[in-house]
Amino acid sequence: MSGNIKNKTQNRSYPRSTVKKIIKGHSGKNVGRNVDALVYIDYVLFIQELMRNASRKARASGEKRIAARDIRKVTMSSLRKFKG
């Protein structure tokens, strides 16, 4: 893949070089060719799952908006689903 990968929902590119630098900084290893794309996709899926769970939690407590407390309450369960 060359250039930037498009996010289908936002129709905007993400900064590939920045993502690669972050991954390399945390892992201390060189990053493969399309690793940044896979990490970005996993990140987007995690955020979608987190917001879906927070939305359910907010609706269950009778709220119309998602608050920070709703996100905090579902963060650990969402993280467990993405643990690899």
pLDDT of 2-59, one tens digit each? 455 554 555 567 888 888 999 999 999 888 888 889 988 999 999 999 999 999 999 9
Q: Are 47 and 30 in contact (CB under 8 A)?
A: no
pLDDT over 50 at 83, yes or no: yes
pTM of the model: 0.73
Indicate the residue type of 79. Answer: L
> Which residue do the tokens 């407390």 mark?
69
pLDDT at residue 13, as a whole number:
77
pLDDT at residue 9, as a whole number:
52
The closest of 36, 13, 15 to 24, measured between CA atoms, is 36
pLDDT at residue 3, as a whole number:
52
d(CA 39, CA 20): 9
The runs of H, that is alpha helices, within the chain are 16-27, 35-60, 68-81
Phi, psi of 13 (to 5 degrees): -85, 155
**Better-scored residue on pLDDT, 46 or 83:** 46
